[in-house]
Chains A and B, each alone.
Chain A
Amino acid sequence: MKLDAKIPSGPVQDKWDKARFELKLVNPANKRHHKVIIVGSGLAGASAAATLAELGYDVECFCFQDSPRRAHSIAAQGGINAAKNYQNDGDSVYRLFYDTVKGGDYRSREANVYRLAQVSVNIIDQCVAQGVPFAREYGGVLANRSFGGAQVSRTFYARGQTGQQLLLGAYSALNRQIAHGKVKMHPRTEMLDLVVVDGHARGIITRDLITGEIRPWAADAVLLATGGYGNVFYLSTNAKNCNVTATYRAYKRGAGFANPCFTQIHPTCIPVSGDYQSKLTLMSESLRNDGRVWVPRNKADLNKAPKDIPPEDRYYYLEERYPSFGNLVPRDVASRAAKKVCDDGFGVSKTGEAVYLDFATAIERDGKPAIEDRYGNLFEMYERISGENPYKTPMRIYPAVHYTMGGLWVDYNLMSNVPGLHVLGEANFSDHGANRLGASALMQGLADGYFVIPYTLGNYIATEYTGEVSTKHPAFARAEAEVRERQRKLLEIGSKSGSSRKSVDYFHRKLGKIMWEYCGMARNAAGLQKALTQIPELREQFWKQAYVPGGADELNPWLEKAGRVADFLEFSELMCHDALYRDESCGGHFREEHQTEEGEAVRRDDEFAHGAIWEYAGVGTPPTLHKEPLEFENVKLTTRSYK
């Protein structure tokens, strides 16, 4: 596997300018002759599809949802960062860059992050011009708020639904191109394989989720903007249908998968209430601005109502352990601290996995109306789900899987090691290192789609395009046959399993438990080894007992789910291999072997300041490791301290 990051030379500030000059252009009249496939219609996919179509490319865009507007970007709550410095509080492109590299615990690529910070300012301009109703001050200018991991106020927001508003902006730009006939949109269509011809990504195989039709599509380049793989844990804040299939299929066709073990566990989610739980709901990080996190100091108090526990018997563990940041420590630190008190037996729910997030002090200090104004909609949502009123009794929260920093390896031009295959947004690995800062996911998705790929894709077409390929090429027939065969096998298990049959969810839940236990918030070598034994066993059971009803030629949600879970059952092993290999703690990856006496993460820069990129070697065979060294020319590697 050849990994050339293609980072332009020169000072970090000049790299993107230099690249934009050096990247070859495609003649405007020729662009219409180049077909581009885009899989996914979230922030990255929709923005790329709209922008490439505006430039003149012939775009085919695919999403499994019934409308591109429902892609999971829609669910982002908090905001989007940009180095506008509208607040005059000392922000700059360089500071956003620095904060992001530091927040990622020094495991991201400097050049990519700097470019991200640079284009962040253009994103806000573009969104406002599309009619995104960002929050504003009375004077009519844009408002900002603070977010974790930064000391400046650079987050733009649209109440608690920034993701929906930004996606509706990108979707409207996409609609305009659909209306002009420049983008052909294929909703309810799922990518099931990547087609590689002579080493280049030249197409995909899809299944029409309504008719079941399996068909090949050829193009001059393939862009994956298919999001993250958090649902490998079964329970996560991801939408139910988020999956790893597109990126995992690309991995099986030769694309390198980078840092798959880097997952983000968000500290403030509504805890699991029972075995029937189907997903977890995030409560915005902004709640930690006013909420105080605690558990009872004495186990004897665990059955008492929180109001009956006097202040001196409450353990405000974040405030005590991290006096300078208190309740506002970064996500990974807050999550691990909650896990620790619960592991020690101080959890405050019947599952033992919850801590209090208490607004009593803030309500007393600022009054209920002020708190209502700030968090009213979140409090309502909490009450709807939990049945408890957070104005009267503390919220109960627990960490949950939220985002995956790992993804397909890409070079500076967002191209994977398979020429022609480009990867955007959460699906790639490059910008967030081992921990993503709040309000940076939306920024990256839109940066990749609006302002990076429109420049870099042209260079691939101008310099590496190998001529027209049609779906008649045997590689398409081969891939299509494999997809059909796999589908046939999935449908066949049920007829053979008889009374031992289990639902696909049964296996997904079991896989989730293994992953959460051994590859979740804290990991160790023994646990990961155990997971690596249990996953293949579970996979084997799945292929004997999973029951998929219905047929192949109709809307069959159970068949869709079975295909995705089958991929998770392989992909999870890759994550565990990576977590086992990365014998250090960094960001969201906490190896229990590497911590200080106080339980803080210890990085091992000498050994692990690199991206770990894995090459597929067969199901059940350990993947092959490749490394991309990370060079830090601008940011000084230090131990993150929030004490």
Chain B
Amino acid sequence: MDIKLKIWRQSGPKQAGFYEDHRVVADPHMSFLEMLDVLNEQLLEAGKDAVAFDHDCREGICGACSMVINGNPHGPRAGTTACQLHMREYHDGDEIVIEPWRAAAFPIIKDLVVDRSAFDRIQHAGGYVSVGTGSAPDANTIPIGKRESDEAFDYAACIGCGACVAACPNASAMLFVSSKVAHLSLLPQGKVERKVRVRKMVAAMDAEGFGGCTNHGECSAACPKSISVDAIALLNREYMFAGLARD
């Protein structure tokens, strides 16, 4: 299949970016990133600079790949990262536009590679249970209902890719932050520090320059792990209670 590509090229954070046109002959069984590999191989063998993009595990779990494909973060398939997308989703002659995540809090480093260290900094602010190695009680000491545990897992499934931010018209990080807060606050181990955690993480999120949430729900639609917007409601509840609390 003959594919037309329009790819964002940008040599550095301060340089102006532009779209570059390319053509690739792809096989329907190729993954989307393998199609980009073929393009890059063509560019390299012609002595040109190839397109930089973040990728690593290529099985939908490390969260490195990050590209907006025809307007959708990670492309058209629900619950699927760009690395798990396959060319059989496309037809001969299709044009595909590929851009980086676009958000003030995710500056572009080069081409499709962006800086997502803001996510790490939000987690430094409180995305943990303060338990040192060695001081844990036996794992079965505190029973946790299967339902609570499963729900906590649903939020813990976040792979930190940033598609939620890229999809949001406000570039809000609420789905990411709320998934982290929800995961820990639903478990007894995380309840002890829940108030201080939510305050600190929200403050860190605001300091990074992410936009506010205005309930579009695009984040959840783009999330490759299909995390529900319910997380945001839970975050708001946690934040409100933390605000009313004395401690």
Residues of the A chain whose Cβ atoms lie less than 8 Å from the Cβ of B14: none
Closest Cβ–Cβ distance, residue A502 to chain B (whole Å): 7
Closest Cβ–Cβ distance, residue A84 to chain B (whole Å): 7
Kindly identify, within residues 239 to 284 of chain A, every residue whose CB is under 8 Å from any CB belonging to chain B. 239-241, 273-274, 276-279, 281-282
Selected from B12, B50, B84, the residue in CB contact (under 8 A) with A558 is: B50
Whether B113 pairs with A278 at a CB distance below 8 angstroms is no
Is residue A469 within 8 Å, beta carbon to beta carbon, of the partner chain?
no
Whether A51 pairs with B45 at a CB distance below 8 angstroms is no
Query: Measured between alpha carbons, how far is A69 from B123 in the docked complex, in Å?
Result: 11
Closest Cβ–Cβ distance, residue A64 to chain B (whole Å): 9
Whether B29 pairs with A72 at a CB distance below 8 angstroms is no
Whether B189 pairs with A501 at a CB distance below 8 angstroms is no
Whether B120 pairs with A175 at a CB distance below 8 angstroms is yes
Query: Measured between alpha carbons, how far is A32 from B20 in the docked complex, in Å?
Result: 52
Whether A239 pairs with B57 at a CB distance below 8 angstroms is yes
Kindly identify, within residues 70 to 91 of chain B, every residue whose CB is under 8 Å from any CB belonging to chain A. 77, 80, 84, 86, 88
Residues of the B chain whose Cβ atoms lie less than 8 Å from the Cβ of A557: 50, 52
Closest to A178 in B: B124
Whether A175 pairs with B123 at a CB distance below 8 angstroms is yes
Selected from B40, B58, B129, B135, the residue in CB contact (under 8 A) with A279 is: B58
Whether A75 pairs with B128 at a CB distance below 8 angstroms is no
Selected from B28, B38, B61, the residue in CB contact (under 8 A) with A74 is: B61
Is residue B21 within 8 Å, beta carbon to beta carbon, of the partner chain?
no
Residues of the B chain whose Cβ atoms lie less than 8 Å from the Cβ of A137: 146
Kindly identify, within residues 154 to 183 of chain B, every residue whose CB is under 8 Å from any CB belonging to chain A. 156-157, 159-160, 183
Whether A75 pairs with B61 at a CB distance below 8 angstroms is yes
Is residue B37 within 8 Å, beta carbon to beta carbon, of the partner chain?
yes
Is residue A541 within 8 Å, beta carbon to beta carbon, of the partner chain?
no
Is residue A483 within 8 Å, beta carbon to beta carbon, of the partner chain?
no
Residues of the B chain whose Cβ atoms lie less than 8 Å from the Cβ of A178: 124
Is residue A161 within 8 Å, beta carbon to beta carbon, of the partner chain?
yes
Whether A74 pairs with B48 at a CB distance below 8 angstroms is no
Closest Cβ–Cβ distance, residue A421 to chain B (whole Å): 23
Whether A142 pairs with B34 at a CB distance below 8 angstroms is no
Is residue A454 within 8 Å, beta carbon to beta carbon, of the partner chain?
yes
Selected from B49, B88, B187, the residue in CB contact (under 8 A) with A549 is: B49
Is residue A210 within 8 Å, beta carbon to beta carbon, of the partner chain?
yes
Query: Measured between alpha carbons, how far is A397 from B119 in the docked complex, in Å?
Result: 37
Selected from A175, A240, A385, the residue in CB contact (under 8 A) with B128 is: A175
Closest to B28 in A: A387
Closest Cβ–Cβ distance, residue A271 to chain B (whole Å): 11
Whether B130 pairs with A176 at a CB distance below 8 angstroms is yes
Residues of the B chain whose Cβ atoms lie less than 8 Å from the Cβ of A185: 120
Closest to A556 in B: B52
Residues of the A chain whose Cβ atoms lie less than 8 Å from the Cβ of B8: none
Whether B56 pairs with A239 at a CB distance below 8 angstroms is yes
Whether A168 pairs with B12 at a CB distance below 8 angstroms is no
Residues of the A chain whose Cβ atoms lie less than 8 Å from the Cβ of B57: 70, 72, 74-75, 239-240
Between-chain CB contacts (< 8 Å), 24 pairs: A50-B133, A51-B133, A67-B119, A72-B57, A74-B62, A75-B59, A126-B133, A128-B136, A131-B129, A133-B152, A135-B149, A136-B145, A138-B145, A158-B153, A158-B156, A161-B61, A176-B128, A178-B124, A187-B117, A273-B27, A385-B31, A387-B28, A501-B44, A547-B47
Other CB < 8 Å A-B pairs besides A70-B63, A126-B134, A240-B56, 9 of them? Answer: A124-B139, A176-B128, A384-B77, A386-B29, A501-B45, A503-B44, A503-B45, A549-B47, A554-B11
